[in-house]
């Protein structure tokens, strides 16, 4: 079965760092990009950025450039989203989703990781 399994919910304080993960299985991980999508409480979907696990090519939405870091480790079929200094406004559900090509984007999604940032 093709799936993306994300790491569990996190509760952090402002200023702390965090790295969440997205592990792919059931397919050739390096054949697909992994994108990240934010959903703030009660709000819509926002595209954050995307990484190619094969060569670590990474692209960011201008809204998230410099705010987060996206990476991947192809040896363990896992992509990451990380923050160096969290803010309360980072409280959201974060989804990963895969993309094969421009023709086939976000056909499989992870279950989401809830990140809560509160003092």
Partner 1 sequence: DVVLTQSPLSLPVTLGQPASISCRSSQSLEFSDGNTYLNWFHQRPGQSPRRLIYKVSNRDSGVPDRFSGSGSGTDFTLKISRVEAEDVGVYYCMQNTHWPMYTFGQGTKLEIK
Catalog residues that contact partner 1 under the rule CB under 8 A: 35, 37, 44-47, 49-50, 59, 61-62, 95, 97, 99, 102-107, 109-112
Q: Which is nearer to partner 1, 42 or 75 (CB)?
A: 42
Q: Which is nearer to partner 1, 18 or 51 (CB)?
A: 51
Q: Which is nearer to partner 1, 13 or 59 (CB)?
A: 59
Helix (H, G, I), strand (E, B) or coil at 90: helix
Residues 6+ apart with CB under 8 A from 103: none
CB of 13 to partner 1, least distance (A): 26
CB of 105 to partner 1, least distance (A): 5
CB of 102 to partner 1, least distance (A): 6
Helix (H, G, I), strand (E, B) or coil at 76: helix
CB of 53 to partner 1, least distance (A): 15
Please report which helix (H) or strand (E) contains residue 107, including its range.
strand 104-109
Residues 6+ apart with CB under 8 A from 109: 4, 95, 96, 97
Query: Residue with structure tokens 């409480």?
Result: 41
Q: Which is nearer to partner 1, 28 or 65 (CB)?
A: 65
Give 106's Cβ-side CA count (13 Å radius): 9
């Amino acid at each position: 079965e093709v799936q993306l399994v994300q790491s569990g919910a996190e509760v952090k304080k402002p200023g702390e760092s965090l790295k969440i993960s997205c592990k792919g299985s059931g397919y050739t991980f390096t054949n697909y990009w992994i994108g990240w999508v934010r959903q703030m409480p009660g709000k819509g979907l926002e595209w954050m950025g995307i990484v190619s696990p094969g060569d670590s090519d990474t692209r960011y939405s201008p809204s998230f450039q410099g705010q987060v870091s996206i990476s991947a480790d192809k040896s363990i079929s896992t992509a990451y989203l990380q923050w160096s200094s969290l803010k309360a406004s980072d409280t959201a559900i974060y989804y990963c989703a895969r993309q094969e090509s421009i023709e086939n984007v976000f056909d499989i999604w992870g279950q989401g990781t809830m990140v809560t940032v509160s003092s």
